[in-house]
Structure formats: structure tokens, C-alpha cells
Amino acid sequence: MSQITNPRELFLHELGDILYVERALANEVLPKLISEVQDTEFKEALEQHLEQTRGHMANLKQVFEELGEAPHAEQCIGFDGLKAEHDKLVEESSPELIDSVDLGAAARTENYEIAAYEGLRRMAKAMGEDRAVDLLDTNLKEEKEALRLVEKISTRVSNESAKALA
């Protein structure tokens, strides 16, 4: 039997999914990436994004409250898959390639978050939840900026490692 039977319940479930993602990023994944990367610009970008991610969690909790609901996370299997893929690739790769592995993982995660926030934003807009739309927009904007920065660093690191191999 269906447990999610209307758009509001679907919205709340997906909001819980992205809260799970932000929480895992803040508590576990970003600190791990910060400790394993070598490139200074990438390390600083991850540190800055860790700060932003704590803000994303706070904004999501506020969205729950705007809807009169207690904040709660839902296990996000999609993100668990991204994380498992990353961990496996780190194990399989030589140390000088870890920055490239982590840049790829960061780009995938940002794209995942962007898709989630765009969907949530559309649903909030359709429900007339304007305050929730603004909060989701704040997160979405920072994810897009983070993705652009990761792509820029990724281009430089790819060029540098291709040159080192030439």
C-alpha cells in the first residue's frame, strides 16, 4: 500500500532525502575529502563548502518548520550509492590520482544536489510555499556556485596531471 499519497507528502519525503545528504556531507564526507586531498585550492573550496553545507542543513530544517513539520531525514539510497562508488574508486586508485577521484565525486554530488533542489523548489512553488522557495533557492544558488568552482579546479588539475604524464 502506498505511504506517499499526495504532493505534499512527496515533497516532505524528498526534503528528508536531501537533509540526509547534507547531514552526511557535513558530518562525514566533506571532512574526509578535506583530509585526503592535496591541492590547496580544492581543499579550501571543500572547507568553504563545509561551512555552506551546515547552513544548508539549517535552511532545510526551517523549510520543515515552515510547513509545520518536525525536521526528519530519510535514507537517500542514491547518495549512498555515490558514496560507495567514491570509496571503491579511492581504494582502487594510486595516491597521486586521489584529487582527481575526489573532484569527480564532488561534481557528481553537486549535480545530484542541484537536481534535488530544483525539484523541491518546483514543488514548493506549486504548493504556494513562498518562504520555502526562498530557502531552497539559497541552497540551490550555493550548490551551483560550488559546482562551477569544482569544474574550474577540475579542468586545471586534469591539465596538470596530463602534462605530468606527457
Chain residues binding Fe ion by CB under 5 A are 22, 53, 56, 113, 143, 146
Q: Which is nearer to Fe ion, 88 or 141 (CB)?
A: 141
CB of 161 to Fe ion, least distance (A): 24
- Give the residue with the Cβ less far from Fe ion, 49 or 157: 49
Cβ at position 53, least distance to Fe ion in Å? 5
Q: Which three cell numbers stand for residue 87?
A: 570509496
Tell me whether residue 91 is exposed, middle or buried, using C-beta atoms within 10 angstroms of its C-beta: 0 to 12, 13 to 18, 19 or more.
Answer: exposed
Measured from the CB atom, is 17 or 113 closer to Fe ion? 113
Residue nearest to Fe ion (CB): 56
- Taking the least distance from each CB to Fe ion, the nearer of 39 and 113 is 113
**What is the smallest separation between the CB atom of 159 and Fe ion, expressed in angstroms?**
24
CB 13 → Fe ion: shortest distance, Å?
18
Nearer to Fe ion, 14 or 113 (CB): 113
What is the nearest approach in angstroms of Fe ion to the Cβ of residue 141?
Answer: 11
The 3 state secondary structure assigned to the chain is CCCCCCHHHHHHHHHHHHHHHHHHHHHHHHHHHHHHCCCHHHHHHHHHHHHHHHHHHHHHHHHHHHCCCCCCCCCCHHHHHHHHHHHHHHHHCCHHHHHHHHHHHHHHHHHHHHHHHHHHHHHHHHCCCHHHHHHHHHHHHHHHHHHHHHHHHHHHHHHHHHHHHC
